[in-house]
Structure 1
């Protein structure tokens, strides 16, 4: 099966990639740290223990601002990465072979051995395969893989 990437699918795949990025273990640590910073800033603000009350008043806003910047940067990065790999109009296909996942995008074909993948996350519109020993991922349109294909990938990646 082949599909042509359109703007809507591109946005939905980027959304799945952004959710993946925002829920990775390092991101969870960041969210916990930001929540702790926010709680601490409210506690400091409420007790008047801060040396500079004006500076303390800005701490909750600064903490929330850091969270917003993290979300915007992750979403922007995911959109850019997905758009670069599969711009609108790209004809994409995927095929599972005994030892490799073959992915084609227009005239490019990639053969990636299953052992190169470290993990898999299945979103609504994208299957995200994490590359071993790397922060890189491969994003495949979900529609190209059947439930059996995904089960096979899960077994091969584990």
Structure 2
């Protein structure tokens, strides 16, 4: 099956990739640290409310929320850039599973990637995210180019 990438598909695939990136173990550690800093800064403000001028401590909750927003924005923006670079709108994309590898075509380019290259996968609503073994890199494939049976076969091959 083939799919022609649209601007909407780029955004939706980037959203799936961003969700994947924002829910990785190290990202969860970051979220816990940011949430803890937010809670501590709010508690610090309320504890010192009657003592006098809180000074710059009043900005700490806003800074925590701003850091959270920047993390989300940077992740989404990076994912969108990466998806757009690999599959610009108008690109015709296809995928084929063989016994040894995954073949992904984007217009005239064809990538033949052995299953052993991948360490894990996550299936989103619009993208299949494949994590490259031994790195933080991922490959995103439009979900529409793979049938449910192919996704199950790919999951079995990757492990």
**What TM-score, normalized by structure 1, do the two folds share?**
0.96
Give the structure 2 partner of residue 67 of structure 1: 68
Give the structure 2 partner of residue 153 of structure 1: 154
List alignment gaps of at least 5 residues for structure 1.
none
Secondary structure in 1 matching 2:46 = helix
Measured after TM superposition, the shift of residue 51 of structure 1 is 10
Query: Partners in 2 of 1:52 and 1:30 — Cα distance?
Result: 30
Could you give the per-residue CA deviations for residues 102-135 of structure 1, whole angstroms, max 9, x where no partner exists?
0000111101111110110000010000000111
Query: Partners in 1 of 2:38 and 2:133 — Cα distance?
Result: 34
Could you give the per-residue CA deviations for residues 60-108 of structure 1, whole angstroms, max 9, x where no partner exists?
0000000000000000000000000000011110000101000000111
Query: Partners in 2 of 1:12 and 1:124 — Cα distance?
Result: 8
Give the structure 1 partner of residue 3 of structure 2: 3
- Size of the aligned set, in residue pairs, is 158
Give the structure 1 partner of residue 17 of structure 2: 17
Measured after TM superposition, the shift of residue 8 of structure 1 is 1.2
